[in-house]
Amino acid sequence: MFVFVRATVQNKYNKPEEFELKINNIQLLGDVGDSNCRGIVVHGKSHEINGAWIDDLLQSVIAKPGKVPLRIAVKDDESTYYVDATSRKYKLAFDRELFEEWEYKGYDFKIEKSG
């Protein structure tokens, strides 16, 4: 089991020459991605998107349900219009295997971390 510890180093009370480590948060490492990720954006160009692209993306999304919001951003190269759509129905798991699969398939995606 691995844990993620968020802590700060500060001066000790009434002893400014000494320091102490103050633990702010402890999480299981597997849960860090879900809690620190604001969303995942899959970018696509209008000429790339077809029925097969959508079906393939949908299969991978259904296979990895989770808590992270999914957005799809489509850009039209000719007119430079940009459309961004958030899925209300599907949310993803923050999963390394999914990201590796998308990289292998050539999907352009971005993980947005929360502030």
Q: What is the mean pLDDT of the chain?
A: 88
CA atoms within 13 A on the CB side of 45: 7
2 pLDDT band (50/70/90 cuts)?
confident
Q: Is 87 exposed, middle or buried (0-12, 13-18, 19+ CB in 10 A)?
A: middle
Q: Does 75 map to a domain?
A: yes
115 pLDDT band (50/70/90 cuts)?
low
Query: What does residue 77 show for φ and ψ, rounded to 5 degrees?
Result: -70, -35
Rounded Cα distance, 88 and 24, in Å:
32
Q: Does 80 map to a domain?
A: yes
Q: Which domain holds residue 67?
A: 33-113
Percent of all residues in the chain with a pLDDT value above 70, rounded to a whole number: 98
Quick: pLDDT tens for 6-62.
Answer: 899 999 988 889 999 999 989 887 777 777 788 899 998 888 888 898 899 999 999
Q: Does 105 map to a domain?
A: yes
Structural domains counted in the chain: 1
Q: Does 2 map to a domain?
A: no
Residues 6+ apart with CB under 8 A from 114: 36, 37, 38
Rounded Cα distance, 71 and 87, in Å:
6
pTM above 0.75, yes or no: no
Rounded Cα distance, 77 and 72, in Å:
16
